[in-house]
Chains A and B, each alone.
Chain A
Amino acid sequence: MTPRCRELLKRCSAYLEGDLEKACCAEMEQHLKECARCRAMLVEVKWTIEACRHAAPSEVPPEVSAAMRTRLREEREAIKATQPG
């Protein structure tokens, strides 16, 4: 890995999020043209971010949901019991 490759690895999130100065972006883009390994690395990072964005949430199991509602009811009653009147 060359110093330029390291620099790209260090800054690729900032590059992808548009946080870099124009001159810095141009330098990175020049390096990307010349380095297949860094192009592949950048694709992998983009791909990782996309994978996170598409990660499917697990459904809340009905018994977990029911237990949570019971706790909320108990808490509500406890709060009411401490209120005057």
Chain B
Amino acid sequence: MIETEPIDRLLPEERTLLARYQAGDDAAFEALILPFETAIFNFGLRMCGNREDAQDILQETFINAMRYLKGFRGEAKLRNWLFRIASSVCQKKHRRSKFAPEREISLTQFYDNDDTSEVLDVADERRLPDDELLGSELGQRLSAAIGGLPKKYRVVLLLRDIEGLSANEVADILDMSVPAVKSRLHRARLFVRQQLQTYLSGRAVS
């Protein structure tokens, strides 16, 4: 049998910190993990919609990371490995709570309820959202629209469009096929677009 080199997806500085942590240097753990604090907290906040649950997700994710990092070999990017833990923590939390069963988003729901305004034409592409716009009213509307997505669609949109991971990485994190990720992502985008449509048509005529 041919032995292949293990895949190493860590950055050089992460590799050094991981080796230090695995050799017993506790301070290396925080240096390795804390750069992801904001990303994991925001992931929890957008998944659960409230600060208390986001705090739990942050804590549980990092505690699990502490438990399993000794055996981590760098076969995944550290950020993706943490998102995998965070997604699993969210899923467990969701199962324990009394949420209604998840609904499906079908494409047909967008066929007959479409309020696309023809006024918003290709010329509007130059007015793509900027950071300033997203800090204000649109940011709140976007958060509410994402919060309205069923969780299995929301998690895909968060990882792909908010965090900017590739469809392959999202599939790997969520143990899904790439076509399934793309299908959910597309429905999630159409849903969010529909929720923002009043705002979008307001922009078009302003």
Quick one: which of A17, A56, A64 contacts B139, CB cutoff 8 A? A56
- Distance in angstroms between the alpha carbons of A76 and B69 in the assembled complex: 12
Residue of A nearest to B161 (CB): A52
Interface of B is mostly: helix
Interface contact A79-B111, CB-CB below 8 Å: no
- Distance in angstroms between the alpha carbons of A69 and B110 in the assembled complex: 45
Q: Which residues of the partner chain A approach B200 to less than 8 Å between Cβ atoms?
A: 44, 47
Interface contact B116-A44, CB-CB below 8 Å: yes
- Residue A60 is within 8 A (CB to CB) of chain B in the complex: yes
Given contacts A13-B189, A47-B128, A50-B129, contact A6 B58 (CB under 8 A): no
Interface contact A51-B134, CB-CB below 8 Å: yes
Interface size on B, residues (CB 8 A): 60
Residue of A nearest to B146 (CB): A52
Interface contact B111-A14, CB-CB below 8 Å: no
Q: How many A-B residue pairs have CB under 8 A?
A: 135
Given contacts A1-B112, A53-B161, A54-B130, contact A43 B55 (CB under 8 A): no
Provide the B152-166 mask, 1 if CB < 8 A to any CB of A, else 0: 000001000110100
Interface size on A, residues (CB 8 A): 43
Q: Which residues of B from 26 to 66 have beta carbons under 8 Å from A?
A: 26, 29-30, 37-39, 41-42, 45, 51, 54-55, 58-59, 62-63, 66
Segment of B12-20, B89-97, B191-199 in the binding face: B191-199
Q: Which residues of the partner chain A approach B7 to less than 8 Å between Cβ atoms?
A: none
Q: Which residues of the partner chain A approach B114 to less than 8 Å between Cβ atoms?
A: 1, 9, 41
Interface contact B196-A51, CB-CB below 8 Å: yes
Across the A-B interface, the 8 shortest Cβ-Cβ residue pairs: A52-B161, A13-B186, A48-B193, A57-B42, A36-B118, A51-B129, A40-B120, A50-B128
Contacts from B to A (Cβ < 8 Å) = 26, 29-30, 37-39, 41-42, 45, 51, 54-55, 58-59, 62-63, 66-67, 107, 110-112, 114, 116-122, 124-125, 128-131, 133-135, 138-139, 142-143, 146, 157, 161-162, 164, 167, 182, 185-186, 189-190, 192-193, 196-197, 200, 204
Contacts from A to B (Cβ < 8 Å) = 1, 6, 9-10, 12-14, 17, 19, 36-37, 39-41, 43-61, 64-65, 67-69, 71-72, 75-76, 79
4 more contacts with CB within 8 A, not counting A52-B146, A56-B139, A57-B39, are A19-B182, A45-B190, A51-B138, A59-B38
